[in-house]
Amino acid sequence: MPRYLDPKNDLMFKTVFGEHKNLCISLLNSLLKFEGDRRIESVVIIVFFLLGYFVCG
């Protein structure tokens, strides 16, 4: 059975929807049930990653 990357993973979600804005727009319009004049037409992706701190000691 092939294994796929989990889109519920934060990094994968940001990668998929950050690189394919049309998918992001479609998802938002579907989830928010926007139709007609209320549809989202464009998005601006702000890259924001929090990197954890590693403490050695």
Q: What residues does each domain of the chain span? A: 1-57
Per residue in 5-54, pLDDT (tens digit) is 787 777 788 888 888 999 999 999 999 999 999 999 999 887 666 666 55
- Cβ-based burial of 18 (10 A; exposed 0-12, middle 13-18, buried ≥19): middle
Q: What is the DSSP letter of 33?
A: T
In this prediction, residue 30 carries a pLDDT of 96
pTM of this structure: 0.66
Q: What is the DSSP letter of 9?
A: S
Decide: 24 and 17 in contact? Cβ < 8 Å.
yes
Number of residues written out for the chain: 57
